[in-house]
Every structure is written in C-alpha cells, then in structure tokens.
A and B are shown apart, each in its own frame.
Chain A
Amino acid sequence: MSMRGRGLAFGAVLTAAALTLTACGGDSDDTAADPAGGTVNIFGSQPQNPLVPVLTNETGGGNVIDNLFTRLVDYNPETAAPELAMAESIEPSEGNTLWTIKLKPGWKFHDGTPVTAESFVKAWNDGANCNTGALNQYFFGPDGVNIKGYDAVAGTYDAEGNLDCAGIEPDAGMEGLKVVDDTTFTAELAGPVSIFATIVGYSAFAPMPEIYFTDRPAFEAKPIGNGPYQFVSAKANESIVVTEYPDYQGEKKAQVKDINYKIYQTPDAAYVDLLANNLDVIDTMPATALAGDRWKTELGDRSILKPVGVFQSVTFPLYVEEFDNPELRKAISMAIDRESVISVAFNNTRTPADGWVPPVIEGYQPGACGEACTFDAAKAKQMFDDAGGFDGTLTIAYNADGGHKEWVDATCVSIKNALDVECQGKAYPTFAELRNDVTEDKMTGIFRTGWQMDYPSMQNFLAPLYATDAGSNDGGYSNPAFDTLLRDAAGQTPEEAIASYQQATQLLAEDMPVIPLWYGALTAGWSENIETPVFTPFGRVDWTSLKLKG
C-alpha cells in the first residue's frame, strides 16, 4: 500500500539503494566471486504511476525504481550519507552556483546503449518540462536544485491561475544544463544550493535511455535503466519481478539473482505469508502484528525496530485568529504526553520528537524544541491560561483511511486532561479530502501533518515545510529571519549550513507553528530463508544485503 494509505506524509519517494555495504567485511572478496542465485520475495505495493523516475513519488514504485536506476550518488545504507555512484566527481564552484559533474565511463543501460552526460541532461530537462507533467517536477526548480532556466520550461500561469504550456517545446531544455563531453556536464543554478550533491541522489534525477524519449509506451511497458537490476515483468496488483543486470558497472554486486515484489491486498496477508516463509521481507508491520508486540514474539530476532527519516506533527492553521499566539501553541505542545500516546497508540514503535529534524539526519540536535516538547501538565495549564486560553473545542483533523484515530484520540485526552479544554478528533474520510482542505487554507482547527525525507538533509525537513510560501507550508508560517537563515545556508559550506539550519530550528521553537509529535521508525521483519538484511534510514531494505541462506 502506498504511503498515503498508511497516512504517512512523504515528501516524495526515497532513494535507498545505497552502494557501500560493509557488512560483509573481511570475506567480501569471496562474496563477490559467488554467482548470485535464487529469488527473494519482498512486500511491495502497486505502483501509483508508470515506472518512470520523474513520475514516481511513492514507495510502491520507488522501491522498484531504486533497483532499476543508479543515480549520480547513492545514500549509505546505515548513515544515509551521500556517496558517489555513477558520478566520478561532483564539484561546486565558489558559492555553490555552478556544479561540474563527471561520470564514470563505461556504464550501459539495460538495452546496451551507453549512459552519457546527455542521458542525464535530457532526463532532467524532460522532468522539468511543462508538457511532461511530471510529479517530481519541483525537484528541478526552486524547491529542489533550482537549475537556471527552470522557469522558462516549467510553464507560466495565466490570470486565472491555470498553467499554460503553450509555446514551450516538449524537448525544450533548461539553460543551466550544458553537456561538456560524453562524461561531463555542468549545472548552473539560479541561486546557490549547497546540498546539490545530496539532492541529486533522489530518484527523479536518474538518467534515461534514448528509448524513453523516442518510444514512451514501449519504455513504460518495459522500463530500461542503468541500475543493478533489470525489469522482467509486472502483473497489476500481483507482482513485479526484476533480475540481476550482468553488465552492471557499480561497485556493489547483487547477491541474489531475482527480486520479486509481491503485491498484497492487505499488510496482514503479507505478515501471514512472512510467518509461513512465503514472503521474505516486510518493511512495515501491520497494526495487528504490532498489537501486544505479537511481531516480536513471533519473529524473534528476525525483526527490527529502527529509526527512519520520518517526522510526524500537528500543524496550526495560522490564518485562524485564535491560533495566532505562540504561547498558546507552546502550551498545547507541552500538554501532550508523547510517551504515553506512543505507548497507547503505537506500541512504543515511535520516538517522542524533541525537535523538527529526526535523529537520523546529520545536524540533529537533541532537545531542539526545549521544554515545549516536554510534557508538564501544570506548567502547560499555567501557560495556557496566561495566553488567554481557548474558547470552544480544540479539534485535531486527520484522515480516517490511515489508522490515525487512536493517536489523535489519545493526544486529545492528554490535552484535555492537562489544559481542561474540550478536544476532539475530526475525521476526514480520505487523505485526499484532508489535503484538499489543507491546501485551500480551509482548516479551522489543528490538523495532522508529517514528512518523510526525500533526501537526507536538514534542509529537506525545514525549507519545504516552514519557508514562507513553500510548497508544503500548510499552516501559513512566515518568519523573515527564518527565510534569511535558510537562504544563507544554501550558499555556505556543509558545516556552516548545519549551524544555520540549527539556528533556524531555534526560531521554530520560539514560534511553534507546528507541534513535533514523534519520529518514525521502521518495523521490519524477514523470513527464515534469507540472511539478516540491512534496512536504510529511508525505511527500505538495502538491496546489496539481500542474500539467501546458504
């Protein structure tokens, strides 16, 4: 099922196919010599879009795309740090506005055609072009790497707010991208982006083979990439099969020949199949297995609970006057007993949030949120009354299709007990209906929000969510000082940038536009057929770690 079904917010799809697996340690030479064999069955979900990188922004398709395509960088399976994959080097100019990318030579797509600088440039231009209608279009623009000339191909808005692609050729490219030679290209940006090399590991930045541009239906029927696995077959709502690509040029080799993404009607059915060893990997336990820690009892050491780059929160509609008071917002935050809500509603499979950036991200500061995220009923009540209290009933809006009722109710109970104010959950039937009202600024009370990282950077947890008028700034927060810090960070070295982001986080702690609730964790399990796999901070299984038992 998609992340929507689970109700998790996701910025977009995750790229987890990390290349440097060191778990094999000393005997890595032996393993490399072993021919890969067998099939591993992984819990999958039906992709929501054709298997095209710029069209894929959810886990069902993203898991497959990750195996089919290798991008310029990959993320380390343990630390999520970006590591060069197809790129030999990615060098910035002074000020981070011009990036020179050199590719490793000799790479080929699954159809035998070479992967060149052109393959990247054309693919990125296609993703940004208005006519493509790509779901990941914004990653090329100001919300992402901000390539110069993006505006000219992304389309213009007419007076009624409709986008107009007229006058933009379908193959029109961005001015900032230039092919130097077969293995070199440059990207000139409209403004500095210090984390360019991190962002381009996201799946939307994959190179595309010529057939994608000349015969799109053929490509969609049989996607062709440059990754460790190549596409074999897909049967709607049943399975997607990929097999090892023998000519793969990456440093890491597959240890299993075929991967079969088995698509389940419900996660419960998948769990039962895991118990019966018909399925080898599940990366999200169903609620029924979490209840009473059933999964730990039944799977024992074949299960893992591991923090991932997910942040869950509730957001205040700052356009509603009653909530336009930081002290009131902090009081409500302080009134939430995160520990007990997590224990009641999640069987302790979450970590109480003490800030706006999860611990798996470099630059995480323990206790960034300060006392406002530490439960203290008496102090919260005091602050609440000092701030003028709240007339009527507080509501927390959520989507009923994502299993949120339990924690919303528990959170309300906590608020009610601490602040002596009425609090109720407000259910929207579907995620789409909730988001519809959120984006149209129609919310009247607090609502649930969340974020799953697109790429591992503090920037990804701050800029899209709290910068003025940013794409996912749902509450309408605006603080010029915050915006300035983020702009500064974009032109700084990575270390300086982290300091700026941490400063920006302090502004969030003062303003409390969004209440941090908890950080997500992966609840995964595997069968008796395979060796212990590695799960990434993106919440996915690392393909290099998949290996059948002896």
Chain B
Amino acid sequence: MGAYTLRRILQMIPVVLGTTFLIYTLVWALPTDPFAGRCGERPCPQAYVQLMTEKFNLDDPLPWAYLQWLGGLFTGNLGETYTGLLVWDQVASAFPNTLKLATVAIMFEIVVGITAGVFAGLNRGRFIDNLVLLSTLALISIPVFVLGTTLQYLLGIQFPIFSPTVPPGAPWSSLILPGFVLGALSMAYVARLVRSSILENMRSDYVRTATAKGLARRRVIGLHVMRNSLIPVVTFIGADFGALMAGAIITEGIFNINGVGNLVYRGILNQEGALVTSVVTLFVLIFLVVNLIVDLLYGFLDPRIRYE
C-alpha cells in the first residue's frame, strides 16, 4: 500500500505540470490586451502599459513566461496581480474560507444526507421514505441561487436567526446557512444514493445469510449493510469535495464569502494570468489528493480491493 501511494503521488507530478501549462497557455492565449479596459473609455497611457508589460513578462514567448512562473511557484512566489497585490496573500486569505465552507457543506451531506438515506432505505414505502424522497426532489429541483437568496432573505432578514452575510474571517457559526445551501444539492443526492444502496444490499445474499445464521438485525445492518452501502457514497462525497471548493462561487457571492471561487472569477474577468493559474493549480492538487484518499478508503471499506 505504501508503494501504491508513492506511485500515485509520483503520477501527480506530470498531471500538475501538464494542467498548469494548459491553463497558463489558455489564460495568456486570450487575444486581448489585458490593459485595454483598465482606463475606461480612454486608452491607458503608453508609459503605464509598457511598465506593466515589462513587469509581468507579457512580451516574453509563452514557454519562457511559463517557466518563469513555474520557477516562482517552486520558490513560493506566485507573483503579483495587476492591482499590486501578492497572489499568495489573496489565496491565503481566501482559501481557508472556502475550505471551511466546503467542510460545513460536506458535514451536512454526511450527517443529514446519510441519516436520511438510511432511514428511508430501512423504511421503504413508509411515511419517512416518502418524506425523504419528496424533500430531496424539492432540493434537487431548486437552483442554488434561488435556495440561497430565499433562505438568506427568510432567515437573515425576515426572521434574523442567522447573519445574512458572512463577516470577514468567516467564523464557523456564520457558515451554517451558506454551508447548507452549498451542500443542499449533494445532500439530496447522497440521501438518494444511500437509500437505493441500502435497498439493494438488503436483498443481497450475504444479508440473508447473516440474518439466517441468527445475527441481530442491528448488527446485520450496522456492519454488513451499512459498510457496503457506503462505498458509492464515499466516492461521491470525495469527488464532491473538490467540486464544492471549486464550485462555491454562487454561494460565495450570495453570502459574501471571500473565497477562491470569486477570486478566480474576478481573475478571469481581469485577465490576471498569475492569479488564475495559481488558484486552478490549487484546485487540481485538491482533486488529486482527494481522489487518492478516496481510493485508499476503498481498501478499508471493501475487502475485495487490496493495493499491492
């Protein structure tokens, strides 16, 4: 297993290099001069444009500019944005907020999603099952910005239980509502996934065998059904963690969370190449690491999977 992990980590290197180069190329391949819109209806003074072009290596051939950026990356210098702020500072202030938000969302998925799924699966056709099916259907069909702005208005302004926006520093308590909104869709999927997984496993041979040999229902469900039902859920949640971090932009916007989603969005609008490439590289790394963790978790959950 150690060797497997090492191999996977080594495989990450070409993936990271390849993706960063692609992203870097795409960002810089945009045909427009990034300073064309910076002075409103006036063209910017040439003295400014030339100073910035020189400072940001915009005239260098692409591979060389990429290598300079990569060199900076390894020495911990991600460069500056055109606004004169260090990319690292911006990422460092935004990233923890998004990480916390995604964590809260995942917690909702795990706690609410799995619990609802288990109850529904074990009580097929009864009231609780229908309730779960109906409420998850509702969550799936409501777009996130509708859910977000509605809950924000209801619970932030009409009945001020929560703060409508997240204050700087994003304390955990302020992230409950945004976390729920961000995780709502996946929470519904998780509940349904768990439900169908449990239904399927309840009918499987090994459950019948376990019941036949006299195991307590509690133990049959707790040990055999649950463990096997969670495999697809782990995959889903693992992959979702990356998606939540990279895809929190709408939620971040509604609740005013200074997160990476909006950071990269603004970066794209302003053609901040160094910023976009750095943040996306971070996303790539997160996806890779989370995938590795999910794959390793399989080994624990499913005895049939063993890594040499």
Contact = CB atoms under 8 A, between A and B. Distances in A.
A474 interface: yes
Residue picked from B52, B90, B258, B262, most chain A C-beta under 10 Å = B258
Interface of B: 31-48, 50-52, 82-85, 89-90, 93-94, 149, 152-153, 156-157, 160, 163-165, 168, 252-258, 262-263, 266, 269, 271
A17 interface: no
B93 A435 contact: no
- With a 10 A CB-CB cut-off, give which of A154, A431, A451 has the most chain B CB atoms: A431
Given A265-B257, A273-B165, A472-B41, A433 B84 contact: no
A163 interface: yes
Given A132-B47, A137-B45, A236-B89, A269 B254 contact: yes
Which 8 pairs across A and B sit closest by C-beta, in order of nearness?
A133-B51, A432-B37, A269-B256, A436-B36, A9-B41, A137-B45, A163-B46, A10-B40
Contacts of B266: 46
A276 B163 CA distance: 8
Contact of B165 (A3, A49, A272, A435): A272
17 contacts: A9-B40, A10-B40, A50-B84, A57-B40, A165-B47, A236-B90, A237-B258, A237-B263, A265-B262, A266-B253, A275-B157, A432-B34, A432-B35, A432-B37, A435-B36, A436-B36, A474-B41
A4 B271 CA distance: 13
B47 A133 contact: yes
B37 A266 contact: no
Given A11-B42, A439-B36, A450-B41, A264 B51 contact: no
B55 to A, nearest CB: 9
- Interface majority SS on B: helix, strand, loop or mixed? loop
A449 B41 CA distance: 7
Contacts of B83: 46-50
A265 B256 contact: yes
B165 A133 contact: no
Interface in A34-70: 46-50, 57-58
A46 B81 CA distance: 12
Interface residues of A, number: 63
Given A133-B52, A135-B39, A464-B42, A269 B32 contact: no
A471 B32 contact: no
A451 B85 CA distance: 28
A163 B51 CA distance: 10
Interface string A85-116: 00000000000000000000000000000000
A275 B50 contact: no
B299 to A, nearest CB: 40
B151 to A, nearest CB: 11
A278 interface: yes
A366 interface: no
A432 B32 contact: yes
B152 A452 contact: no
Interface in A137-173: 137-138, 154-155, 157, 162-163, 165
A179 interface: no
Contacts of B257: 265
B32 A275 contact: no
Interface string A272-306: 11011010000000000000000000000000000
A11 B164 contact: no
Contacts of A451: 41
Interface in A1-38: 3-5, 9-12
Contacts of A266: 253-254, 256
Nearest to A298: B157
A268 to B, nearest CB: 7
A269 B165 contact: yes
Contacts of A401: 269
B258 A278 contact: no
Contacts of B36: 432-433, 435-436, 439
B45 A135 contact: yes
Nearest to A428: B32
Contact of B40 (A11, A46, A137): A11
A397 B101 CA distance: 39
A182 interface: no
Nearest to B169: A238
Contacts of B32: 430, 432-433, 436
A5 B269 contact: yes
B254 A268 contact: yes
Given A9-B40, A265-B258, A275-B164, A134 B48 contact: yes
A130 interface: yes
Given A133-B51, A276-B164, A220 B84 contact: yes
Contacts of B263: 237
B37 A435 contact: yes
Interface in A407-441: 430-436, 439
Contact of B157 (A11, A268, A272): A272
Contacts of B51: 131, 133
Given A135-B45, A165-B47, A268-B254, A236 B93 contact: yes
Nearest to A135: B48
A235 interface: yes
Contacts of B41: 9-11, 435, 449-451, 465, 472, 474
A133 B45 contact: yes
Contacts of B43: 435, 439, 471-472
A433 B31 CA distance: 8
Contacts of B152: 272
Contacts of B39: 12, 57, 135
A432 B271 contact: yes
A238 B38 CA distance: 22
